[in-house]
Amino acid sequence: MRLPGLLLILSFSLSACATARMHSQDELNSAGLACGLTYGELIQDEEAKKLLILFREAPSPEQRGCVYKWALRNQLKLVVVDSIQFPEQAQ
């Protein structure tokens, strides 16, 4: 087998072993505060550990960029929820 092919297989094998860890709420709050957010606006899904959820209405581009960089450093994928519409309750 050629060296480039072997390196490619090795890199795929190593990336498959890298799993996301659950960050504590204190870690998420610290990251959020550093990015100009408030407590609880960053959450990590326990079942989909690779997802970092930014839950804030209309986050600024700077806030999104800051959180995105933090997510990348921690091998997470950023999901932004910037608007939620609840169905009107029947009376």
CA geometry: angle at 77 spanning 55 and 48, to 5°? Answer: 80
Domain positions in the chain are 20-91
* Whole-number pLDDT of residue 89: 64
Query: pTM value?
Result: 0.71
- pLDDT tens-digit readout, 1-15: 455 554 555 555 444
Supply 48's token pair: 């989909």
Say if residue 62's pLDDT is above 50: yes
